[in-house]
């Protein structure tokens, strides 16, 4: 069997954002967003559900799914495969925008409902944290007092997830394993949750039309090209930095050598103009060296 890579926009929305994704999305959010809460999601509405076919001409490298939960919390689920400048600010901006647009001018602030941004990223964001899942909300800086639970950001960093199939211990592990590895597996693992197994069926290339497969392959190709472009830009920047560093290092060593020569010539009572000609240093620099040695 061959499965679509769920990290691409088409496959992600096909699994989590279509008309038939309700049970799957509830399982996913209960495992990742509500995993530490006693009250689980019992119902939700997918906002602007994604209908196949697809995203022809879509030029970005992320995709989001929005859901309104039974407690009126809105969850924005985003899959991001490429790191780019300003990504962290865009997440915060989208979260704030979705929070603020709930009210019309005449409505009261107490009517605002919580908004959660769930971001699944295929790169490392927080080098200082070993955790796969990092959760952020408004807290007092020293005493960590909750200001409000209305704004919350959750980041899942797929490269940090190292568990193999036989090491999965709960539904949270299973969903992260599915997102990270579905596109590279050749069979449906038997021990996974039924919603995850159903998601594998959705991603099975044998169940897709020729047009669907072509669109998916184009999206994977686009993402691969973008990754290569970012890698080249990074490598080019590193190369230029190394070259500049070497040049600066050489220049500094030459300057140090000139100063040492000038100091020795001063000790030998050589005339100032002769030292200038011998070292290439300015008369002012040599005079300072002379004053320091006196």
Domain boundaries, the chain: 9-207
**Residue where the block lists tokens 């959705």:** 202
The first and second tokens of residue 143, run together, are 């005493």
- pLDDT (average), residues 36-65: 67
Per-residue model confidence as pLDDT tens digits over 251-272:
676 777 778 787 877 777 777 7
- Of these ranges, 10-14, 210-214, 242-246, 265-269, the one predicted with the greatest mean pLDDT is 10-14
pLDDT band at 244 (very low <50, low <70, confident <90, very high): low
Q: What is the per-residue pLDDT for 54?
A: 46
Bridge partner list, 136: 153
Per-residue model confidence as pLDDT tens digits over 182-222:
988 988 988 899 999 999 988 887 666 667 666 666 666 65
- pLDDT (average), residues 19-33: 91
Say what the alpha-carbon torsion angle 225, 230, 236, 238 is, to the nearest 10 degrees.
Answer: -150
Q: Which range among 28-32, 158-162, 239-243, 257-261 shows the weakest confidence by mean pLDDT?
A: 239-243
- Of these ranges, 32-46, 102-116, 225-239, the one predicted with the greatest mean pLDDT is 32-46
- pLDDT (average), residues 57-72: 70
Whether the bond between 160 and the residue before it is cis, its omega within 30 degrees of 0, is no
Nearest alpha carbon to residue 99 among 76, 118, 123, 127:
76
pLDDT band at 5 (very low <50, low <70, confident <90, very high): confident
Please tell me the distance from the alpha carbon of residue 160 to that of residue 124, in angstroms, as a whole number. 7
Q: What is the per-residue pLDDT for 25?
A: 93
pLDDT at 116 over 90: yes
pLDDT at 111 over 60: yes
Question: What is the value of pTM for the model shown?
Answer: 0.69
Say what the alpha-carbon torsion angle 54, 176, 37, 128 is, to the nearest 10 degrees.
Answer: -110
pLDDT band at 237 (very low <50, low <70, confident <90, very high): low
Q: Which has more pLDDT, 242 or 266?
A: 266
Q: What is the per-residue pLDDT for 243?
A: 60
The single-letter DSSP state of residue 111 is: G
Q: What is the per-residue pLDDT for 57?
A: 46
Q: What is the per-residue pLDDT for 246?
A: 58
The first and second tokens of residue 139, run together, are 């807290």
Q: What is the per-residue pLDDT for 278?
A: 72
């Amino acid at each position: 069997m061959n499965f679509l890579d769920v990290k691409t926009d088409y496959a992600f929305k096909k699994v989590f954002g279509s008309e038939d994704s309700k049970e799957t999305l509830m399982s996913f959010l209960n495992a990742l967003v509500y995993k530490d809460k006693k009250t689980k999601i019992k119902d939700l509405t997918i906002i602007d559900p994604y209908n196949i076919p697809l995203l022809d001409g879509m030029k970005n490298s992320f995709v989001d799914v929005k859901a309104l939960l039974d407690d009126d919390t809105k969850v924005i689920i985003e899959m991001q495969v490429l790191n780019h400048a300003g990504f962290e600010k865009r997440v915060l901006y989208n979260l704030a925008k979705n929070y603020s647009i709930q009210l019309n001018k005449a409505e009261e602030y107490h009517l605002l409902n919580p908004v959660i941004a769930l971001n699944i990223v295929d790169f490392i964001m927080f080098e200082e944290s070993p955790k796969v899942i990092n959760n952020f909300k408004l807290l007092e800086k020293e005493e960590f007092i909750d200001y409000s639970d209305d704004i919350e950001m959750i980041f899942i960093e797929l490269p940090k997830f190292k568990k193999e199939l036989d090491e999965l211990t709960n539904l949270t592990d299973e969903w992260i394993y599915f997102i990270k590895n579905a596109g590279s597996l050749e069979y449906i693992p038997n021990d996974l949750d039924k919603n995850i197994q159903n998601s594998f069926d959705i991603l099975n290339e044998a169940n897709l039309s020729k047009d669907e497969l072509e669109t998916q392959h184009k999206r994977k190709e686009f993402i691969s090209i973008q990754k290569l472009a970012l890698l080249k830009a990074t490598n080019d920047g590193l190369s230029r930095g190394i070259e500049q560093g070497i040049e600066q290092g050489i220049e500094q060593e030459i300057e140090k050598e000139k100063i040492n020569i000038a100091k020795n010539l001063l000790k030998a009572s050589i005339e100032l103009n002769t030292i200038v000609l011998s070292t290439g240093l300015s008369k002012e620099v040599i005079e300072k060296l002379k004053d320091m040695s006196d």
